[in-house]
Amino acid sequence: MLSIGLLILAVSTVLVSGTELTFELPDNEKQCFYEDLEEGVKFDIDFQVIAGGNYDVDCFVTDPQNNVLYQERKKQYDSFSHTTILKGVYKVCFSNEFSTFSHKIVYLDFRAGEERPLLPDMNRATALTQMESACLSIHEILKVVSDSQTWYRLREAQDRIRAEDLHDRVSYWSIGETVILFVVSLGQVMMLKSFFTEKKTNVATST
């Protein structure tokens, strides 16, 4: 019986459609994503700028009639939920047009639809009540684990990109300091050598 409950739990995770992706947004450009939704469908959007510039981006969402449902400028991260009133294509756009040099890397999580019950007639009083409760508890824990893994992946990506950028800066600075020290040392050697050369010339003239 336990294996049947876990099988239903695994199948239920596929019932909610979703898109999770990470994409590059060049400077002075805009990228849009489209989703065809039915009327009365709830969708959720989570986004976060992982790398680039000040870690900010413009975002807006429109319905099939181009009515703006959500619009924010220079956001590092945000969430948005909406239940569709019209059937048609909904558009989610990210803009980096305000940036001249910085490319951005953006994470997007788009989920549409309501999650269905794990088991039919969950409220019925049967011998499976304890099993249903266990399935619900496991399902909720798995959702928390999934969200935590996503959050940790984003933090790891941000920290790794910052660490790589800091490593490059330290490397360039170290190379620059090495070149400067080499030039200064060579200049000092040449200066000391010129002092001894002048003395030898003066001695030869006096004799």
Say what the pLDDT of residue 137 is. Answer: 78
Kindly indicate the confidence band of residue 69, based on its pLDDT and cuts at 50, 70 and 90: very high
3 state SS of 54: coil
- pTM summary value: 0.63
Q: What is the pLDDT of residues 136-173, one digit of tens each?
A: 778 778 878 877 787 777 778 777 877 888 888 899 99
Q: What is the pLDDT of residues 92-113, one digit of tens each?
A: 999 999 988 888 999 998 988 7
The CATH number corresponding to 17-115 among 2.60.120.380, 2.60.40.10, 3.30.70.20, 1.10.3720.10 equals 2.60.120.380
Number of neighbours of residue 184 by Cβ within 10 angstroms: 10
Distance between CA atoms of residues 55 and 49, nearest Å? 5
In contact, 29 and 104? CB cutoff 8 Å: no
Q: What is the pLDDT of residues 10-51, one digit of tens each?
A: 333 334 566 788 889 998 999 999 999 999 999 999 998 988
Question: What is the DSSP track for 127-168?
Answer: TTHHHHHHHHHHHHHHHHHHHHHHHHHHHHHHHHHHHHHHHH
- What would the 3-class secondary structure string for 64-120 be? CCCCEEEEEEEECEEEEEEECCCCEEEEEEEECCCCCCCCEEEEEEEEECCCCCCCC
DSSP element (H, E) containing 47: strand 42-51
